[in-house]
Amino acid sequence: MINENRYFDAKPEVRKIATELYSEVKNLPIISPHGHVDPRIFAENKPFPNPTELFIIPDHYIFRILYSQGYSLESLGIPTQDGTPVEKDYRKIWQILADNFYLYSGTPTGAWLAHEFEKVFGVTEKLNGDNAQDIYDLMLEKLQSPEYLPRTLFNKFNIEVISTTDGASDSLEYHKQIRESGWSGKVIPSFRPDGVVNILADNWKSEIEKLSRASGITVTDYKTFINAIENRRKYFIEMGAVATDQGVLSPYTHTLLPTEANVIFNRALNGTANESDEKAFVGNMLMEMARMSSEDGLVMQIHAGVLRNHNQKIFSRFGLDKGGDIPIQNEFTKNMRELLNEYGNHTNFKVIVFTLDETSYARELAPMAGHYPAMKLGPAWWFNDSIQGMRRFREMTTETAGFYNTVGFNDDTRAFLSIPARHDLARRVDCNFLAQQVSEHIIDIDDAHKLSYELTNGLVKKAYNL
């Protein structure tokens, strides 16, 4: 079902070099420094229930395409916010995927699924309506065997370290369980403060209450809020965290006076804050997070350029992360100037910037990363972590930022079984890009061999202090 020369250039001279480079890195350990896999699966190490709950229900990459073709999320078994019934016949849901598998042609999701089916489950037939239930039965049987337990697959996938994404108030109980179990797999948390920073979110006050309980600091004003954030960062570091992460609509940064920040914080507590307040507060908190990172060494990650939960009907009924996050245009040069002037030259600070606004790579982000010592470029993210998206990323950033101001590959996924597929695709695309550079005499073959390792393992280890 999948070709061993997939994603390599059809030109024989390029393919030959790409194959040579790929052969050296294809079996290197997977380092996954940013993702959303639930640590609970490794803590409990229970069998995955069935193919539908493993592949379809948790993965908006899959069900968003089916939704776009007229299938309701209820019919796909996606849980509702209020607990109202949805389809529970998991074979019926799987049949929908199989009947419509052709929809994923040419998409990264299709490439990942083909890799997962063949390399993980040994399925060599393309999924379709006729073989759907036979493939379901084969997968279901394998999922009940010890070889398909989460920890066993973690080792089989050759994962060296995987990072989860955890809210500021998270107890990290599953990370504790993993540590106490004696298992050698390295699963570390990442500090994501969005829930307590986005002051207009419907559940912001309840998140502040959780922060108070988790930190042991009663948050009543801006000062105690900052103290509580610092307390939680310290705890995350004790639990192995190496990075923070913030998803922002805009990368605007600006430091408020403590009195100004306190006024906005109090308005938020009183329910009278507005959009202007939130923009100012989030911009100030990016500065605060940078300040904290320069002190405690956590790598700062910024994800900008997406309007989340665009489909209000789906958001209201099904909640976050249901495929309704849509890219927007962003400006980085002016918006990040204050942060980079304050911390971009700091020897103990690293900031990795991700965006869905591809046009900003060549125009703004690559020139900034090619100058400021503290700034690095995150890889093509989400809608762009495709074959063409990865190629465009390299084409738009390499000449200005070079390879060494990027950070390797982040799989950024909840779908655990897709991790090897995503990393394999990235390694192939990068090796092919290097091969093209060699064939055009832009770099020599020795540089290409060194870079193939750096883009796979070296740069990510350096960027995240692993």
pLDDT in tens, 102-123: 999 999 999 999 999 999 999 9
Same-domain pairing of 96 and 236: no
Residue where a domain terminates, one of 406, 437, 461: 406
Residue 278 and residue 252: Cα distance in Å, rounded?
A: 11
Same-domain pairing of 194 and 306: yes
Same-domain pairing of 86 and 142: yes
- Asked whether residue 1 carries a pLDDT value surpassing 80, the answer given is no
Same-domain pairing of 129 and 208: no
What average pLDDT does range 174-182 have in this prediction?
97
Same-domain pairing of 100 and 209: no
Q: Is residue 153 part of a domain?
A: no
CATH number at residue 143: 1.10.2020.10
Residue 25 contacts residue 448 (beta carbons within 8 Å):
no
Same-domain pairing of 266 and 337: yes
Residue 454 and residue 439: Cα distance in Å, rounded?
A: 20
The SS3 assignment for 320 reads coil
Q: Is residue 115 part of a domain?
A: yes
Q: Is residue 62 part of a domain?
A: yes
Same-domain pairing of 255 and 372: yes
State which H helix or E strand residue 351 sits in. Answer: strand 351-355
Residue 431 and residue 196: Cα distance in Å, rounded?
A: 41
Residue where a domain terminates, one of 86, 120, 148: 148
Number of structural domains in the chain: 2
Q: Is residue 299 part of a domain?
A: yes
Same-domain pairing of 253 and 304: yes
- Asked whether residue 189 carries a pLDDT value surpassing 90, the answer given is yes
pLDDT of residue 446: 98
Same-domain pairing of 88 and 201: no
Same-domain pairing of 400 and 336: yes
pTM metric for this prediction: 0.96
| Confidence at 320, pLDDT banded by 50, 70, 90 | confident
Q: Is residue 77 part of a domain?
A: yes
Domain hosting residue 381, numbered range: 190-406
State which H helix or E strand residue 409 sits in. Answer: none
For the chain, the distance separating the N- and C-terminal CA atoms, rounded to the nearest angstrom, is 36
Same-domain pairing of 101 and 249: no
What average pLDDT does range 336-345 have in this prediction?
98
The SS3 assignment for 188 reads strand
- Asked whether residue 383 carries a pLDDT value surpassing 90, the answer given is no
Tens digits of residue pLDDT in 411-452:
999 899 999 999 999 999 999 999 999 999 999 999 999 999
- Asked whether residue 211 carries a pLDDT value surpassing 90, the answer given is yes
Residue where a domain terminates, one of 406, 432, 459: 406
Same-domain pairing of 70 and 133: yes
CATH number at residue 345: 3.20.20.140
